[in-house]
Structures are given as C-alpha cells and as structure tokens.
C-alpha cells in the first residue's frame, strides 16, 4: 500500500483544532507530597516538594513531572461533534472521531516518541490545570510493513490564570 491517500483533506482540516480538553481537580499539598515521595523513593524528595517553608520557593511546589490527572479529571469537555468510531480504530489510538472525522483505516499503532517542554511556571496547591490536546500534524513514511501514518499530537497544560505550564508532544505511528 502506498502512503498516498493516508492523509485525507478532511484530516488536514482538523490539524490544530483541540480534540480533547480536561480539567483537573484542584491540586492539594498532599497530592504533591505523595507524588514526590513515590517518584524519589527510596531517597527523600527535595524540600520544595514536601516542605512549604523550604528556602527559595516560600510555598510548596510540584515536581515538573507531576500529573494532576493521575487520579482522574474533574471534567472532560466534549467537542460537540464526536462520532462513534469502530472500536478497532479507537484501540489503535485514533482521535479524529472526536472532531467528527472518520479515523484512517489503520488498525495497529506504536508510540513513536514523547517529549515535554516546560515553561518554568510551577504547579502549586490550589491550582486547577486544563489540558488541551490537538493534532499538530501528519506525515507518511514507508516502513518494512508498508506505509505508516505519523500523527503528531500536542497537549498543552495551563493553570487557572492562563499561564502555560508545559507542552507534551507525542508521535503516534499507525499502520
């Protein structure tokens, strides 16, 4: 199968449009402490993650890799144009159906890599984080099994003040 036709015009139209949005519960000091203890175990976590009186920050701060969605989301906001995809596409990472577009006819998927870019804005107790995901782009490559569709996804986290916390990028390889 050639890569021609894997990227349809309707798929290109949704590039950059958010397809998933979720809002966290307010971050608690206990969440930050427990996360830090687990991540740094068996060593003790750095003081700013467990001690609100630690020098430097003056308030408790979460580690960069802290995930306020680890215990679920307070709210998942639908796009309003979702369609029900064949479950086989959903299990291979399809996301186009959230924007009313039929996913490409590709039934297998691999993680093509992830990265995170941090802005330096910390997460603190009381913060409510919004995560918004959008398809950043598509490309096609040939592999040993034929054409592969690479879907780049960007998820941006912002706090209740609109400050960007981080952007998480993932490449999904579907074939």
Looking at the fold, whether 98 and 143 belong to one and the same domain comes out as: yes
Q: Is residue 4 part of a domain?
A: no
Listed in sequence order, the residues at least 6 apart from 31 whose beta carbon sits closer than 8 Å to its beta carbon are 62, 66, 68, 71
Across the chain, mean pLDDT equals: 93
Find the CATH number of the domain harbouring 23. 3.10.129
What pTM was computed for the model? 0.89
Same domain, 33 and 86: no
Ordered DSSP codes for 113-130: EEEEEE-SPPP-TT---E
Indicate whether 62 and 125 sit together in one domain.
no
Q: Verify that 136 and 157 share a domain, yes or no.
A: yes
Q: For the chain, what is the domain count? A: 2
pLDDT above 90 covers what percent of the chain? 84
Q: Tens of pLDDT along 124-159?
A: 999 999 999 999 999 999 999 899 999 999 999 999
Is the residue at 1 inside a domain? Answer: no
Domain shared by 84 and 59, yes or no: no
Same-domain pairing of 93 and 141: yes
Residue 50 and residue 116 in one domain: no
| Host domain of residue 62 | 28-67
Cα(7)–Cα(18) distance, integer angstroms: 18
* 103 shares its domain with 120: yes
């Amino acid at each position: 199968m050639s890569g021609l036709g894997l990227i349809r015009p309707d798929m290109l139209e949704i590039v950059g449009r958010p397809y998933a949005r979720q809002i966290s519960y307010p971050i608690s000091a206990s969440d930050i402490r427990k996360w830090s203890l687990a991540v740094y175990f068996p060593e003790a976590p750095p003081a700013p993650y467990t001690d609100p009186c630690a020098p430097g920050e003056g308030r408790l701060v979460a580690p960069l890799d802290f995930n306020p969605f680890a215990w679920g989301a307070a709210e998942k906001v639908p796009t309003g144009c979702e369609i029900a995809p064949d479950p086989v596409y959903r299990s291979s990472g399809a996301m186009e159906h959230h924007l009313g577009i039929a996913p490409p006819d590709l039934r297998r998927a691999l993680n093509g890599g992830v990265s995170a870019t941090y802005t330096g804005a910390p997460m603190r107790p009381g913060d409510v984080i919004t995560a918004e995901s959008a398809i950043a782009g598509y490309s096609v490559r040939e592999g040993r099994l034929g054409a592969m569709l690479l879907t780049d996804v960007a998820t941006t986290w912002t706090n209740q003040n609109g400050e960007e916390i981080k952007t998480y990028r993932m490449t999904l390889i579907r074939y």
